[in-house]
Structure 1
Amino acid sequence: MQPWILGLTGGIGSGKSAAASHFARLGVHQVDADQVARWVVEPGRPALARIVDRFGEAILHADGRLDRAALRARIFQTPEERQWLEQLLHPLIRTEMRHALEQARSPYAILVSPLLVESEQQRRMVERILVIDVPEALQLQRTMQRDSVPEQQVRAILQAQAAREERLRHAHDVLVNDRDLAWLHGEVERLHELYLRLHARPQGHSQ
């Protein structure tokens, strides 16, 4: 039986990565959209050559890897350039994500993506959505401590992400991560048991 796909998402500082890591320890195959996005522009990949053709070698580090900060500066100045980049990368990223999810041998697999709610194409790839939720004050506190960045910078990131209410509107399951790590692990294990039972139902959850 093909595994069914769970989408896991949450805002910055929500503990999404910690939750995903514990699912992985429980043996659940997962694909991280951010890692896939980095992989498709690795040296030697066709997408990087196209990007260099468009923007020049100034957007490369000395070792030939993509200078993400330089590229971001270019595309955010010009909406047309950002659109060109998205049209190049998004189909490649979706193809790689699908291929990686197809390798799953666990009863269900997880697509971890901070932009799951914002991307209709990514939402179509999953059958159930788990949102790791946290009060905004805690998001700010955790992110400022973790990244050593000022509050206004974290608020700017929050503004760019989907509103908390929008994420919750799409959620089938919500894990409120406002306690310690042991509690988070317990909640992940509880949800894991639920997801295994969903897979075991006679009608199944197949792709």
Structure 2
Amino acid sequence: MEDLKQTGRIVLRDAQLHYEPHFLGRDAADMLFKHLLKHVSWKEDTIRIFGKTYLQPRLTALFGEQGKSYTYSGIQMHPTAFTPELLDLKKKIEDLSGERFTTCLLNLYRDGQDSNGWHADNEKELGNQPFIASVSLGATRAFHLKHREDKSLRFRMQLEHGSLLLMGGAMQESWLHQIPKTRKPLGQRINLTFRKIN
């Protein structure tokens, strides 16, 4: 598995990726991280895999425009209205990317044992070639990618506190990504993924 370049436009087959490691300044990232930890009503949903039910290995919350529910892995989520803090962050990303977002899915990784397995953000509500903006706060975590067809294309990068990863083009059709478990002692991490639900 190769390491990806850690800043700016990332050239990958069948994908558009852009990584800004210092999208939020340290103080702004610290403040938002503490605010979200304290004020978000985090949930631990159950998922069904191969006929068995498990607790998701992370906590989640959904914010967005009313009427824009989101379904993945058999879980249907209904959004809480955007807070002023999330609206400010959304506008900052929209101004940079030129995209518009209706919804933000938050994940709280409590330690290195919380994870998100191989998947693509390709739910039908997102339409064709969805554009995803992912902000990371807290502990740095590894982010793995692998091409669906060309098994030789496997990469990893580190998602840092205050960073922004933009994913577009055929990324969700052609690639899978994950946040793997790790035995390293890690603190908490919050990931905010902005998306547009049609």
Shorter-chain TM range is under 0.3
- Tell me which protein shows more strand as a share of its residues: 2
With the length of structure 2 as denominator, give the TM-score of the two structures: 0.26
Larger Rg: 1
Structure number with greater CO (CA < 8 Å, separation at least 6) is 1
More helix by share: 1
Taking structure 1 as the reference length, what is the TM-score of the superposition?
0.25
